[in-house]
Amino acid sequence: MTASSYKQFFRQHHEILVVGVAIVLVALFVTISRGMWASPYNLASILQVTATLGIMALAESLVITSGEIDISVGSTFGFSAITYLGLVPHLGSAAALIIALAAGFGIGALNGFLVVWFRLPSLIITLGTLLIFQGLCIAVTAGFSFSIPWAHRKNFVYQVLGGGNFLGVNTAVFWMLGLFILFQMILFAMPYGNRLLAVGGSSQTAHSRGISVKRVKFAAFALCGLLAGFAGVLEAGKLGFADGSMGRLMELQAIAACVLGGCALAGGRVSILGVLMGTFLLCGIQSFLVIMGVQPQWFMLVLGIIVVSAARADRVFRDWVLRGA
């Protein structure tokens, strides 16, 4: 390939950067930890965390691609988790799932409605819903015990939804992979995806072509809420109990994963593989620090540095790729 066609490939596939970094870091991790990092048990636990965070990051990436932002996904996650756990003993896993998903979808739809209909800044609106549902989560769990009695934990549906393992890993991992494949199709091989990317790239142009920017953005928010709710259900299934602090700070990690994965914060550019790699990288780095005995106190600092470095690296990469085009 000629030099210019290399650059062209990189331009269209930003995630090359994060995949490359991931490969390098994985090699480093395995070497430095003398294989401990890559032990089956450790990898399984990394994958487990990657699964729920990955679905959250996927949800967030939809909204970011449309040119908006949703910082309430953590609260939606927690609220759906609590709803699910609260209802399983009474209604069974299947019904509880449906109601929990409806709750997630509802929160996303509420966000979408307020942002799109009233033309209000998404940061503020989703800050509002973050607070509303976080408060509700805390209020509902205060004084209530939200754990699943053993009888229900053996239920098949419950197991499928994160309560059990399949091929040695938590079922959530398979749900994540399935969703990622599904959304790769939706975003890049279906009309909705084309329009979502267009809205994020130039909403005026999309509008001039007769696309309903309102409907596209509303759908993005609603899907985001639905996915975040599903992630909450899976996590609740895995843990078997919930408290009011579930999901706190998860939105920040989800956004971080998107940034790592090469999503343009202004919208219009996204890579499913990138989001997956970004999430995996975040969880992998955290696991590595644990193995190396780094005290948990350093995590936040490290996370902050990682995100800034990733954003900067992406910017530098982008400038390089656009030069001489």
Partner 1 sequence: MSDTRPLIEMKNIDLIFGTFQALKDVSVSFDSGELVGLVGDNGAGKTTLIRILCGMHAPTNGEVYFDGQKINRFNPRLAIDLGIETIQQAVGLCNNLSIARNFYLGREPVKRRFGLPFLDFEKMRKKSESVIREFGLRENVSADDEVEILSGGERQSIKIGHAVEFKNRVIIMDEPTNHLSVREREHVNRLAVQLKEQGLLVIYITHAINQVHGISDRIVILENGEKITDIKSRDCTAEELINIIRHGGRVGLAENRG
Partner 2 sequence: MRGAIKRFSKRQDFGAIASAGIIFIVFSVIDPSGWLSLSTLANVSHFSAILGFLAMGEALVLISKEIDLSLGSIYGLVGVAFITLAESLGIVGAFFAAMVLALLLGGINAFIIMRGNLPSMIVTLSTLFAYRGIIYVWTGGTIKSFSEAARAHWLTRLFGGEFFGIENAVVWAVLLLFILNTILQRTRTGNHLLAVGGDAESALSHGVNVVRTKSKAYLLAAGLAGLSGIITLCDKPQTHVTLGTLMELEAIASAVIGGCILTGGRGSVIGALIGAFIITSVRYELIALGAPSAWFITFVGIVLIVAVLFNQALSRWLLRSSA
Residue ranges that bind partner 2, judged by CB under 8 A: 69, 114, 118-121, 123-125, 127-139, 142, 244, 252, 255-256, 259, 265-266, 295, 297-308, 311-312, 315
- Residue 85 — left, alpha, or beta (φ > 0 → left; ψ -120 to 50 → alpha)? alpha
Task: Considering the complex, state which of residue 6 and residue 144 has its C-beta at the smaller distance from partner 2.
Answer: 144
Task: Report which secondary-structure segment, H or E, holds 166.
Answer: strand 165-166
Question: Considering the complex, what minimum distance in angstroms separates the CB of residue 291 from partner 2?
Answer: 19
- Residue 269 — left, alpha, or beta (φ > 0 → left; ψ -120 to 50 → alpha)? beta
Question: Considering the complex, what minimum distance in angstroms separates the CB of residue 179 from partner 2?
Answer: 25
197 binds partner 1 (CB under 8 A): yes
What are the respective helix, strand and coil percentages of the chain, to the nearest 5?
Answer: 75, 0, 20
40 binds partner 1 (CB under 8 A): no
Asked if residues 54 and 174 have their Cβ atoms less than 8 Å apart, the reply is no
Q: Which does 131 bind (CB under 5 to 8 A by kind): partner 2, partner 1, none?
A: partner 2
194 binds partner 1 (CB under 8 A): yes
CA-nearest of 311, 319, 320 to 18 is 311
3 binds partner 1 (CB under 8 A): no
Query: Of the candidates 10, 11, 243, 273, which one interacts with partner 1 according to CB under 8 A?
Result: 11
Distance (Å, rounded) from C-alpha 54 to C-alpha 260?
12
Question: Considering the complex, what minimum distance in angstroms separates the CB of residue 223 from partner 1?
Answer: 16
Task: Considering the complex, state which of residue 64 and residue 179 has its C-beta at the smaller distance from partner 2.
Answer: 64
Task: Considering the complex, state which of residue 1 and residue 301 has its C-beta at the smaller distance from partner 2.
Answer: 301
Residue with token string 């989001």: 275
**Would you state the torsion angle of the CA atoms of residues 318, 320, 321, 325, taken in this order, to the nearest 10 degrees?**
130
191 binds partner 1 (CB under 8 A): yes
First to last CA, the chain: 15
Asked if residues 10 and 274 have their Cβ atoms less than 8 Å apart, the reply is no
Distance (Å, rounded) from C-alpha 138 to C-alpha 122?
24
Question: Considering the complex, what minimum distance in angstroms separates the CB of residue 268 from partner 1?
Answer: 4
Distance (Å, rounded) from C-alpha 176 to C-alpha 291?
25
13 binds partner 1 (CB under 8 A): no
Task: Considering the complex, state which of residue 2 and residue 295 has its C-beta at the smaller distance from partner 2.
Answer: 295
Q: Which stretch binds partner 1 (CB under 8 A): 6-14, 172-180, 227-235, 241-249?
A: 6-14
Please give the residues from 249 up to 268 whose contact with partner 1 meets the rule CB under 8 A. Answer: 264, 268
Q: Which does 255 bind (CB under 5 to 8 A by kind): partner 1, partner 2, none?
A: partner 2
Residue with token string 């490939």: 9
What does the binding site for partner 1 look like in residue numbers (CB under 8 A)? 8, 11-12, 185, 189-191, 194-195, 197-198, 200-202, 204-212, 264, 268-269, 322, 325
